Structure 1
Amino acid sequence: EIIDLDVDFEKEFHFIEFVKSVQPDVIGFTIVTPCFNSAVILANKIKEIYNPFIIFGGPHTSAVPEEVIKEKSVNGVIIGEGERTIVEFMRHFKRGVTVPVAGMIIKSGNRFLRCRKRDFIEDLNGLPFPARSLLRHPERYSPPDALQTPVATILTSRGCPYRCTFCQAPGIWGRKIRRRSVENVIAEIKFLNKKYNIREIHIADDDFTHSKEWTLNFLNMVKSEFLGTRFYFMNGLRIDNVDREILENLKRAGFINVGFGIESGSQRILNKVKKGLKIEEIKKKFRMAKKLGFKTWAFFILGLPGETPSTLKETIALSLSLDPDFAKFFYLVPYPGTDVYEEFLTKRYLQTRDFSRYGLYTEPVYELPLLSKSEIEKALILAYLRFYLRPSKILRILFRIRTLTELRLNYRAILFLLRKVIRRG
């Protein structure tokens, strides 16, 4: 059974009561960094009731497995992709044998038993589609930026070959791109349309357009099969991996939005974090996307290594120069397992290792030599105010609102900005 604590239970107490009544032999937690502390608290409470075998997996666990396994309530950890690891472990467990399998560490008394590293899954077509039938309330999955509900999320590939120092993804999926076939992805979308009446697909790939040939084949299939379905790239696209041909085919296939992770307006900072982008290329590709009629998004990170008040100004200036339809600004989050985390830890920039504070919308958890935490916070507010509180931008957004859903999304965005400003006071 799959339990989603954000969706299935109003309060933690209800989840604990559910576990108490069912008492499964094995409980697995998928952990992202901001949820680690709360997951440990829940695991401790469960252990006070009875003694199941508790396994932690997910991005945070994969980044620091040796730390996670030390938690008293955690019996085992899964590192990296878990589909085959958990199946293999459960085969042994059902026979009464508790041993670590490849990709896993288990606790035995005061000892930690570790098996070899598990190879990445090469044949992604061999994996079944996600068991969405096990979700208790699939109708409740509606991300804040969804325009058509119900919504489903898919992955067409795993892996990212780039070396951005702030990103956790390569540590989980590896640096080699592994792709599902176009036919396999199309089959899943058809299944979602038919089974769940899904009309909006959020693609969660780290580098969707890495293979131009695959991308064009996929878009040709979408154009002929799914013109009524809205597609959205959750992580945006690598701007250096799109060209006019890809953008034109995205347009023909019915895509109306494209977003790009720009991160910084300073070439020095982009180089330092190994983003692999040039400012001039960014400007050129944005002009191209806008000329083709796309609604454009840009994503920026403030407080990157080497950041100064001057480079923050460069980032804000680039956001205004590019003038996408929408921009999002985030503080850097130094996630465990990234080069940035190791650098900040070594140089003692981190102010806390309370991982509940490592969220995208919480305050910075570090200070830089030339930039205080307060300056980073002020820069984020200034970036939003300067980008959105321009008469031309306000009018453009208002004139583009066509539905109640779009009105709701813009209302949420205004509330988010106001909360940021009021919190800074």
Structure 2
Amino acid sequence: MSGLDLVLILRYRKAVTYGHHVLLAALEEHETTTRYEVVFAESAAATVEAITAARDTKTLVLWSFYSPDAVALAEELATIKEQASGAVHVAGGVHATAEPVRTLDAGWDIAAVGEGESTLLRLVDQAGDPKGIEGLVYRDEHGNLIRSGKPHREPLGRYRAFPLTYKRMNPIEITRGCVYACRFCQTPFMFSARFRHRSVENVRWHVDRMRELGKRDVRFITPTSLSYGADDEEPNLAAVEELLASCKEGIGADGRVFFGSFPSEIRPEHMSVEALRLVRKYCANDNLIVGAQSGSERVLDAAKRGHDVESVRRAVRLGIAEGFRINVDMIFGMPGEEPADAEASLRLAEELAALGARIHSHVFMPLPGTPWRDAPPGDVDPETIRAVSRLAQRGALYGHWQKQREHAAQLAAAAQEHPRPGRSRTLLPLRDSRSG
């Protein structure tokens, strides 16, 4: 690869393409004197091949992954390094942000902390040299740990949502950050506990480009759909309607807009007849995802969910009455959950299933970077497992909760193997805040 200053190899995995797309979107508009090439490596073998082909050119391999995948990818990284040396492996995403030192200990050379767009641009400008670039954690030539600080947070519309150069489309990120600091969720602790919204004009620009490229479906990435345009917990339905109307117009009569369905959800207390009819008016989805998480008031309170169980019941009834199929997210085995709490969740699941909802089941995972990172993995008792399995057999429940139990155990084991210095492994017992 003569004539190049830098080769960027993306360890391109289907589960995390969006993380790479936002980086490429920032890069394609960036002017730099560095001569670089981007290579998509969709397997470990392709990564080895790309590193070998780069030969004497400075090479960065860019990884992005979630915490449940960290153990398996560390094993893959070790195999790649054995077969092809010379590249610098850079890990980004929520896991690297939450656990930068543990990420280095697992074999990566650099951990990118926080939002990566501006960090990557500076790395490219410096032809892969990390010195002086904010947002990185690495060890220098003497083994000293270098923490360069957090990168500056830009307005969400500063960079495109996906790159046009490579024609790699993905759902449009309309909101980054979340004011609901749920104790089990990584989003507010990576992107800050406030909302940053992409403007309607900026979203429309993306929709217009999608239509020009022959795409016909518009979907969104957001931690809470009906919070679009809002500054706090109160929905801004005027902003939501402006967004949906513009997107519907932009994608055309033969296109479709999906809102409040995968890959995003709606908070139960935000469900209203007015909101549901906006979705019906402009969108194609006949299903919605509602984040309930538990049927126990005590667990919801401890998790700082910000809503009660009755809000979930009301949301499901409203959604079904307006003609939607409702999928309800529930997490079993949350920290401090007692048999009575699990029973309350199962009763709620049965009640909602009888109304026509489907339960999307999860098992609690102690995700790095969250207040519950030191909690034990979700412990689901045999009777709960049997009850959940019966719901699944009836078609009233779905999800990969069995696999999540394995991931939760792996996360806990990794945390025990590499405990954070100066931090206790003790978890305070769950208690009802109303008790004082």
Q: TM-score range by the shorter chain?
A: 0.7 to 0.9
Aligned residue for 1:147?
A: none
User: In structure 1, what is the Cα distance between the partners aligned to 2:292 and 2:401?
Assistant: 21
Counterpart of 1:134 in 2: which secondary structure? coil
Q: Which runs of 5+ in 2 are unaligned?
A: 1-8, 16-39, 231-235, 405-436
RMSD after superposition: 2.9
For the pair 1:332 / 2:364, whether they are aligned, the reply is: yes
Deviation digits for residues 103-155 of structure 1, max 9, x if unmatched? 1112113111111222322x2222124226437xx6xxxxxxxxxxxx83221
Deviation digits for residues 334-376 of structure 1, max 9, x if unmatched? 111112222x1xxxx3xxxxxxxxxxxxxxx454xxx64x455
1:61 to 96, 100, 106: 96
Matching residue's letter, 2:100: P
2:179 to 154, 161, 173: 161
Q: Which runs of 5+ in 1 are unaligned?
A: 139-150, 350-364, 390-412, 421-425
User: In structure 1, what is the Cα distance between the partners aligned to 2:59 and 2:46?
Assistant: 19
Counterpart of 2:138 in 1: which secondary structure? strand
Counterpart of 2:124 in 1: which secondary structure? helix
2:340 to 301, 310, 313: 310
User: In structure 1, what is the Cα distance between the partners aligned to 2:292 and 2:378?
Assistant: 22
User: In structure 2, what is the Cα distance between the partners aligned to 1:47 and 1:2?
Assistant: 15
How does 1:24-423 map onto structure 2 within 5 Å?
25-48=59-82, 49-71=84-106, 73-93=107-127, 97-109=129-141, 110-121=143-154, 123-131=155-163, 133-134=165-166, 152-195=170-213, 197-210=214-227, 211=230, 212=236, 213-226=238-251, 228-231=255-258, 232-255=261-284, 256-322=286-352, 323-342=355-374, 344=375, 349=376, 365-367=377-379, 372=381, 374=382, 377-385=385-393, 388=396
Say if 1:218 and 1:324 are closer, same or farther in 2 by CA, change over 3 A.
farther
User: In structure 2, what is the Cα distance between the partners aligned to 1:189 and 1:15?
Assistant: 33
Offset at residue 274 of structure 1 (A): 0.9
User: In structure 1, what is the Cα distance between the partners aligned to 2:240 and 2:339?
Assistant: 39
User: In structure 2, what is the Cα distance between the partners aligned to 1:101 and 1:119?
Assistant: 11
Deviation digits for residues 48-70 of structure 1, max 9, x if unmatched? 42222221111110111122123
Q: Is the 8 A contact 2:10 2:41 kept in 1?
A: no
Offset at residue 328 of structure 1 (A): 0.9
Counterpart of 1:106 in 2: which secondary structure? strand
Counterpart of 1:285 in 2: which secondary structure? helix
Q: Is the 8 A contact 2:161 2:173 kept in 1?
A: no
Deviation digits for residues 282-303 of structure 1, max 9, x if unmatched? 2222222221112221111111
Offset at residue 157 of structure 1 (A): 1.1
Say if 1:132 and 1:32 are closer, same or farther in 2 by CA, change over 3 A.
farther
Offset at residue 6 of structure 1 (A): 4.5
Offset at residue 383 of structure 1 (A): 4.0
Offset at residue 249 of structure 1 (A): 0.9
Q: Is the 8 A contact 2:325 2:356 kept in 1?
A: yes
Higher deviation after alignment, 314-323 or 181-190 = 314-323
Aligned residue for 1:146?
A: none
Counterpart of 1:290 in 2: which secondary structure? helix
Say if 1:100 and 1:66 are closer, same or farther in 2 by CA, change over 3 A.
farther
TM-score, structure 2 normalization: 0.73
Offset at residue 327 of structure 1 (A): 2.0
Offset at residue 28 of structure 1 (A): 1.3
Q: Is the 8 A contact 2:11 2:62 kept in 1?
A: no
Offset at residue 331 of structure 1 (A): 1.0
Q: Indicate the percent of aligned positions where both proteins have the same amino acid.
A: 21
User: In structure 1, what is the Cα distance between the partners aligned to 2:87 and 2:403?
Assistant: 41
Matching residue's letter, 2:216: R
Offset at residue 15 of structure 1 (A): 3.4
TM-score, structure 1 normalization: 0.75
